[in-house]
Amino acid sequence: MTSISASAKAAQDTARGNDGKFGIQHHREAAGVALVSTEDPRARARRLRDQHSALLEHQRRAAADKRFFEAAMDRITVQLVSERLVADHPTATHLRLVQNDEDLTRYDARQILDAAGNMLADSQLDRTWLEKDFSPIADIEDALSDISVDNDGWADGIAEVHDDPHEGEIRLVDLHAAIQASPLQHPDSRDPRRMPLSYEQQDALVEAGFMAIDALDTRVEDADELEVRNRLEAQRLALESVLGANLQG
């Protein structure tokens, strides 16, 4: 059985409530222990501003990435449909997409044309070519109806746009160009900050980050001006946040 001192026993009994339960015992803070932040307020404000700016940048990149990936998927859909249409209609060269009357954000597949502009199929006369399976869960019509009108990065190099006063926006897809087209390249694909890294490269980058933190520690200690010291401290804290390091203390 654990024994306690007489003074602790008396404090415990004093704190006990009428219901037999223990109440709250108040203790003095240990000498030399401060329960408030010692971070300079200006450095903290700068750190929070930097974190806010970083979050805004992440948000912007996420929105741009979403738009890019949607366009990239639309392009692949058009490429696969083009392959299917040329296989079914060997002389086909173009697919005519017309803006939907009720939903202006999507297209309707209207006609398949040959090199002379002759109509090989028209969805207003015969819809069987649109009802052929494109995937286990969609036919050609469903696949093409998901192609975006507004996010038209998918059309780069494979489809021309025309405006018609009666039919709205029209896309004339070059079927052979679509089949041979390269996938869309992410605008940041050549940015080293966005490139995938091997484990060895990640280790080297983290090690360089730790070395930079050590260097900043030295510069903070040597800095004469408070403003310079606070700026260096904010940079050090930002690096720690990126690396997930807990080097305080």
The Cα–Cα gap between 71 and 148 comes to 8
Kindly state whether residues 144 and 228 are assigned to the same domain.
Answer: no
Element (H, E) at 95: strand 92-99
Kindly state whether residues 176 and 139 are assigned to the same domain.
Answer: yes
Kindly state whether residues 83 and 164 are assigned to the same domain.
Answer: yes
Is residue 15, in this structure, part of any structural domain at all?
no
Contact between 147 and 72 under an 8 Å Cβ cutoff? The reply is no
CB-CB neighbours of 59 under 10 Å:
10
The Cα–Cα gap between 212 and 236 comes to 8
Q: How many domains does the chain have?
A: 2
Kindly state whether residues 121 and 217 are assigned to the same domain.
Answer: no
Residue 154 DSSP symbol: G
Q: What is the pLDDT of residue 145?
A: 86
Kindly state whether residues 71 and 152 are assigned to the same domain.
Answer: yes
Those residues with Cβ within 8 angstroms of residue 54's Cβ, 6 or more apart along the chain or in another chain: 238
Q: What is the pLDDT of residue 244?
A: 61
Q: What is the pLDDT of residue 220?
A: 65
Q: What is the DSSP string of 38-60?
A: -S-HHHHHHHHHHHHHHHHHHHH
Q: Which of 180, 204, 226 is the last residue of a domain?
A: 180
3-state secondary structure of 109: strand
Please give the residue range of the domain that contains residue 126. Answer: 64-180
Kindly state whether residues 160 and 80 are assigned to the same domain.
Answer: yes
Kindly state whether residues 108 and 157 are assigned to the same domain.
Answer: yes
The Cα–Cα gap between 48 and 29 comes to 30
Is residue 55, in this structure, part of any structural domain at all?
no
Kindly state whether residues 170 and 129 are assigned to the same domain.
Answer: yes
Query: Tokens representing 3?
Result: 């024994």
Kindly state whether residues 225 and 126 are assigned to the same domain.
Answer: no
Query: Tokens representing 7?
Result: 């003074």
pLDDT, tens digit, 9 for 90 and up, residues 46-90: 888 888 888 888 788 888 888 888 999 999 999 999 999 999 999
Contact between 107 and 98 under an 8 Å Cβ cutoff? The reply is yes
Is residue 153, in this structure, part of any structural domain at all?
yes
* Phi/psi-derived region of residue 20, left when phi > 0, alpha when psi is between -120 and 50, beta in every other case: left
The Cα–Cα gap between 189 and 40 comes to 39
pLDDT, tens digit, 9 for 90 and up, residues 83-130: 999 999 999 999 999 988 888 888 889 999 999 999 999 999 999 999
